[in-house]
Amino acid sequence: MTTIASTLGVARSNLIERRMGSSRPRGRYHKAEDNRLLPLIRQLVGERPSYGYRRITALLNRRLQNEDLPRMNAKRVLRILQNHGLTLQRHTGRQLGRTHDGVVVALTSNIRWCSDHFELTCRNGEIVRILFAIDACDREIIAWSATTVGISGQMVQDLMVACVERRFDSLKTPHPVEWLSDNGSAYIAKDTRHTATALGLRLCFTPVCSPQSNGIAEAFVKTFRRDYLQLSILPNAAIVLGLLQAWMDDYNNVHPHSALRFHSPAEFRKLSA
The answer to the question of residue 1 being in a domain is no
Which has the minimum average pLDDT: 52-61, 100-109, 142-151, 251-260? Answer: 100-109
Q: What is the CATH number of the domain that holds 233?
A: 3.30.420.10
- Secondary structure, 3-state, the chain: CHHHHHHHCCCHHHHHHHHHCCCCCCCCCCCCCHHHHHHHHHHHHHHCCCCCHHHHHHHHHHHHHHCCCCCCCHHHHHHHHHHCCCCCCCCCCCCCCCCCCCCCCCCCCCCEEEEEEEEEECCCCCEEEEEEEEECCCCCEEEEEEECCCCCHHHHHHHHHHHHHHHHCCCCCCCCEEEEECCCHHHHCHHHHHHHHHHCEEEEECCCCCHHHHHHHHHHHHHHHHHCHHHCCCCCHHHHHHHHHHHHHHHHHCCCEHHHCCECHHHHHHHHC
> Using one digit for the tens of pLDDT, what is the confidence trace for 218-262?
999 999 999 999 999 999 999 999 999 999 999 999 999 999 999
Residue 105 confidence class, pLDDT cut points 50, 70, 90: confident
pLDDT of 97: 47
User: Final residue of a domain: which of 83, 99, 121?
Assistant: 83
pLDDT of 82: 92
The answer to the question of residue 252 being in a domain is yes
The answer to the question of residue 107 being in a domain is no
118 and 43 housed in the same domain: no
The answer to the question of residue 45 being in a domain is yes
49 and 118 housed in the same domain: no
Residue 22 confidence class, pLDDT cut points 50, 70, 90: low
Enclosing domain of residue 77: 34-83
The answer to the question of residue 145 being in a domain is yes
What is this structure's pTM? 0.82
> Using one digit for the tens of pLDDT, what is the confidence trace for 84-97?
999 988 766 665 44
Give the residue-averaged pLDDT of 2-17: 81
65 and 131 housed in the same domain: no
The total of structural domains in the chain comes to 2
> Rounded mean pLDDT of the chain?
90
The answer to the question of residue 16 being in a domain is no
The answer to the question of residue 97 being in a domain is no
pLDDT of 214: 87
